[in-house]
Structure 1
Amino acid sequence: MPWFVVDDSAHSHPKIVKAGNAAMGLWMRCGAYAAQHLTDGVVPGPIASMYGTTPQATKLVKLGLWHTVGHACPRCPQPPSGDFFMHDYLAYNPTRRQVLDKRERAAEKKRRQRGQAGPTQGSPEGNRRGFASESETNRERIEDESSSIHRPLSDDSAGQEGVSPGDSLGTRVRAFPSPPLPSKEPVADVGGGSAGSSALAAQQPEGCPAPIDDDGFALTDSMRRWAAATFPSLDVDYETDQFVSHFRGEGTRRRSWPDEWQKWMRRSAKYASERRQAAAGNVVPLASRRPSTTDQRVQAALDLAAEFRALEGTDQ
């Protein structure tokens, strides 16, 4: 597992202090995402909008901690349109190819160890060799992945005065529109990103289960407005809680959680409509109520007898 490297003096760097805790929290989470998914420093737009707000992302760009497409930094590559690149990420962190090559070397070493004939596992000599091998592997990993931990941050990695707008309690505005659903149904803007579901799929290793909480799914204002306008009869908070509980228990990953949430809301609305139709078809009209008093019941019986007598007189 690769590490996202943060200098031990970052907490007091003057330009990072100017960013504020909210923007730096977004920077930290997205850095960990890039390290986990081996993106070589690219932060997909949907991930940035899922973990933070537009003011926070804008501040990181203005500070020089993130770059957008068309930036002028000579040390950093250009990210795809709608995504971000973490400034100097590759100067402090291993590349995707380096991590994969290292994993392959470790796997090959294990294969060679398994193929060698030697003392039975559990014997004193076998245990000593095993401990020595594991110790050597750990030393190699620690030295490789922590060699740049104590490199100081450069002065051009930040630079903007003022308080981060993301620190306020005002309305949180998402940075990017939603990625399109792979269906023929119209899709509303519910707070995804311009890179779309395919960008998330490219960064996510296949067969890597993770709960919905790892991806930071959250109900945004735009998602709430879309649901209220499209399905006004649904309880948005209740259905969202059901959605999160379902996928938290299932423990699987989706390429785009906002798209999956839209599908959930459509299915819930469909099931609710089917239940209402079924209930309406089972309604049986009740007969007229019986008279409520004895006098009324006696009168009703007398009136019925009079009708019978009138009918008999007609037949004669």
Structure 2
Amino acid sequence: MTWFRIDDGFHGHPKVVELSLEAVGLWALSGSWCAQYLTDGFISARTVRRFGGSSEATSELVSSGLWIETDDGWQFKDWSDYQPMKEEVEAERSAARERMKRVRAAKKGVTSPDVRPNDQGTIGGGSLEVRVAPPDQLPPTSSPSSPKKGGAAKRGTRIPEPFIVTAEMRAWAAEHTALVDVDRSTMKFVNYWRAKTGQAATKLDWPRTWQNWLLSDQEKAEARPKRMTPTERAQQTAAAGRRVGGMQITTLALEET
């Protein structure tokens, strides 16, 4: 999966505020298409027509400076400054395939796996097998410590690739976040931080950041109304019936008197 990145200040950018919603929608759809097919920001006229883009919308995008018109389509302006290029993405995918092979080989007890070009791997947290390795294959984890006097302060890093959920982390999750689907929550965690850019995307301690993410999911789960089981609903209905029945008996007794 390749992400098409849109800055959170896009809505107020001078090139955007005067655009129609049609032009903005066409820009976003086209960016997603370019990211998926690794065109490095080129969108063909045929694809724009398939999206239903009008000549007015494309003219708006060219006039605003977001697109550059070419002979057979349009080119996103400054794509390489904000979006991953084809060469970069393919290199990451190749590295992910190699990691996948090593993980699979380790599970099978093979030290020199046969490297085949058609093996499939993923990036961006799409496969849990890349991120969750057996306990005996896991690297040691450590927590950040305060820098020594006179030493340089420790700097944050981007989320590790792959992000590995250790046996100790799973044990912690079972104790403190019992209502959370650990694998699903971890996948969302990895996808979020892979797509995040800037200084905010670096952390000193990724395991603790992961813990805070799961704790937040646990709080959301606890805040949701509890659903009754079929047995609990049947018991509630029966109890209500007994109360109504009691009122009927009392009424009959008063009438006979």
TM-score range, shorter chain: 0.3 to 0.5
Query: Structure 2 length normalisation: TM-score?
Result: 0.45
Query: Structure 1 length normalisation: TM-score?
Result: 0.37
Which of structures 1 and 2 has the larger relative contact order (alpha carbons within 8 angstroms, sep 6+)?
Answer: 1
Decide which structure has the larger Cα Rg and report it: 1
